[in-house]
Chains A and B, each alone.
Chain A
């Protein structure tokens, strides 16, 4: 595995009741890299992200975040990971600002540091107005933005985002993309699952296409397109996903 890789998995797999959701997954994501994780619904993206966040135990294989094995030091690993799930776990009867405070405390961030980061993030994500309102009244997009602000206020070296753009308005999506590029430039490693191929194309250094739990294609967008005769990322994705389906799942065929 590469020495600079912050996210490393080796033959990673997870089964639910005997059915494999993810299998033989080998990922290496370098420091500061934005990795786009693509796949159809049920392909295993969320399961992978939950294993990387030490919420799920792998059924086989291993993983390391910043060299830390979750079986050995789960809390040290969690300290380094910021997770933005599809459904943000906001508390309805806290305000956005209070929620950010809660999350920062759970990640052991000092008060001054937290407040400075929170103010900047609220401004960047256009949350100043809503920050002192109860989360109960937030729209789905606002809930996502508040949770994102809370996670980024902990300054995690590894950021895992599961369908982060869903529910965001176009300005919110643009701000999120800018924010992720900024974080990446600062050295944050980002694994980003999305169905919006255009976003992946714009910000990801590399993408991986997951089909029925196995990684079928991986590389830079340019490389993947070149390997498919200059087709668009959408065509590459369709060819990979449907080709794999037609092939009957005869094991990973990584690029």
Chain B
């Protein structure tokens, strides 16, 4: 059985086992929800008659631009997967040992990695771009060949870019392998992960009205699209009109063939690149240092050590800061708040910083949730075998996470004071509220990140995530939003009721009187409840099975 057939067989086997069904269900639900949100967003935009009037008559071929806008999700997903996920598959996957030892052509293992990455990218691309493309074709009452060509369009927008990204990494590692390149690739991987999450979050948070200018620009932007998207968009636009654009079809197929041929050629470098990659990691020695003897202290120290001693982990924190600063500089999601004339400037900047902080925390919350149980998968049997009290282990982990969660607060505070014009009082108020939010976030993490249904160890004692990780991420986001909901709904009360007083020069400091204590009270309640649930869950996770 060939590698491709083996992968297909493994996929076909998934529904046959309980764990496999969980993976399928988890992935299906996650991607399905994304597709549903994308579908709603598209529906909202396309049902907007003002938009269609504004866009459609304005340019010669607006559908091409709009399809290009929709298909744009494919290269974004491909970039994320190519830079963040497939990179590890290409050089560090345990299966490489078997593939490279087998009498296969030199390029075959690399091609297999590309095929896997393409499959994954297509799943994401289809979930994100499929509803937009489908909605646009439906709005034009396109005939069936247009729908039949949609998978080809998604392929063309995904595979060539993925092949190029993996090919470039192959060449770089083959010829320039070393510690510096490792760090660079790790940084790029961190940026890609954080960038994709930001793109997704911003996309999901942006209201339809705010996307109108973006869409109008896309409608007018036909001709300025990247080549691969351009071919796919022209192909679909022509098909929607009942025509077959032969040159676009040839171009699309040409891109696919060229990408595969080019990647196969570069794939010959793969075995040597893997070798160089492994050679480029000399053993890292660390200074001896004291280790706490208390359980919580040891666990806290272990979490820090894993971040500080993992090459590139700190770069992830840096990449995150860069992204948050970029969001602040571009006033993403907060432009409306800052420009709202009815708010005093200080209060507007506090609100803007809180919005940015909320998004920033959402970006890292999942990663920190993993520290509680998920990332300890293979090491979980150690905790199972240990006589330590579950509450002590969880407490140690939460202490570390609490300190990590201060990073978004610091970065947003700094960005707010430098870019959003927040004064010291506004930054102080923001910090007071965001600290309370951090306590609430810890409660959410403790409750969701230890939930046995999402984190249950397998029979060997290891925590195997599979498809549940996606579900866990969704549950986490929803839970955090629910916890933040009272503040969101309390906002009008905060703004409208004391508006006169604030506008009269009282400033944000006057909010300390009642709002901040109320928020803290709520946060402590949420934090304590979450911790209580977490302790109960941890006890169940660490019980004999």
Interface residue ranges, A against B (CB under 8 Å)? 16, 50, 53-57, 70, 74-79, 81, 83, 85, 87, 89-91, 93-95, 97-98, 101-111, 114, 130, 132-134, 137
Contacts and interface: CB of A to CB of B under 8 A. Distances in A.
B226 to A, nearest CB: 38
A95 B302 contact: no
Contacts of B50: none
Interface residues of B, number: 40
B545 interface: yes
Contacts of A104: 291, 293
13 contacts: A55-B545, A75-B388, A93-B313, A98-B305, A101-B298, A103-B382, A105-B388, A106-B383, A107-B386, A111-B290, A130-B283, A132-B288, A133-B286
A134 B378 contact: no
Contacts of A53: 385
Nearest to B380: A89
A208 B161 CA distance: 60
Given A94-B309, A109-B293, A102 B302 contact: yes
A110 B291 CA distance: 11
B385 A101 contact: no
B292 interface: yes
A81 B283 CA distance: 32
A106 B382 contact: yes
A219 to B, nearest CB: 30
Contacts of B512: none
B302 to A, nearest CB: 5
Interface string B385-411: 111110001000000000000000000
Contacts of A79: 387
A137 B284 CA distance: 9
A76 B290 CA distance: 27
Contact of A134 (B283, B287, B288, B298): B283
B293 A91 contact: no
B381 interface: yes
Which 8 A-B pairs rank lowest in CB-CB distance, beginning with the nearest? A101-B291, A105-B298, A79-B387, A106-B386, A78-B387, A89-B382, A89-B379, A93-B310
Contacts of B459: 16, 56
Interface string B368-388: 000000000011111111111
A47 B194 CA distance: 42
Contacts of A77: 387
Contacts, number: 114
B461 interface: yes
Among B378, B380, B544: residue with most chain A CB under 10 A:
B544
A178 B306 CA distance: 34
Contact of A57 (B313, B378, B381, B544): B544
A148 to B, nearest CB: 13
Contacts of B461: 50, 55
Interface string B295-308: 10111001001100
Contacts of B380: 89
B281 interface: yes
Contacts of B294: 105
A14 to B, nearest CB: 10
A97 B295 contact: no
B389 A81 contact: no
A131 to B, nearest CB: 8
Contacts of B382: 89, 103, 106
A98 B290 CA distance: 9
Contact of A106 (B286, B295, B543): B295
Given A98-B291, A133-B283, A56 B297 contact: no
Given A97-B288, A105-B293, A110-B293, A89 B309 contact: no
Contacts of B387: 75-79, 106-108
A25 to B, nearest CB: 17
Given A94-B309, A109-B293, A114-B293, A83 B385 contact: yes
B385 A137 contact: no
* Best-surrounded residue of A56, A70, A94 (most CB of chain B within 10 A): A94
Given A93-B306, A102-B302, A132-B285, A81 B385 contact: yes
Contacts of B544: 54-57, 70, 74
A57 B545 contact: yes
Contact of B302 (A97, A98, A107, A137): A98
B392 to A, nearest CB: 9
A87 B377 CA distance: 13
A103 B285 CA distance: 20
Contacts of A75: 387-389
Contacts of B293: 104-105, 108-111, 114
A213 B287 CA distance: 47
Contacts of A89: 378-382
B519 to A, nearest CB: 36
B378 A87 contact: yes
Given A50-B461, A54-B544, A134-B309, A94 B386 contact: no
A114 B298 CA distance: 13
B291 A102 contact: yes
B379 A90 contact: yes
A60 to B, nearest CB: 15
B458 to A, nearest CB: 11
Interface string B146-158: 0000000000000
A232 B290 CA distance: 50
B118 to A, nearest CB: 29
Nearest to B390: A75
B385 A55 contact: yes
A79 B386 CA distance: 7
Contacts of A57: 544-545
A197 to B, nearest CB: 26
Given A75-B387, A93-B309, A137 B379 contact: no
Contact of A132 (B287, B292, B313, B543): B287
Nearest to B382: A89
Contacts of A50: 461
Given A50-B461, A56-B545, A98-B286, 12 more contacts: A55-B381, A55-B385, A56-B459, A75-B387, A79-B387, A89-B379, A103-B386, A105-B295, A106-B295, A107-B386, A132-B287, A137-B283
B309 A105 contact: no
Given A78-B385, A91-B306, A91-B379, A102 B298 contact: yes
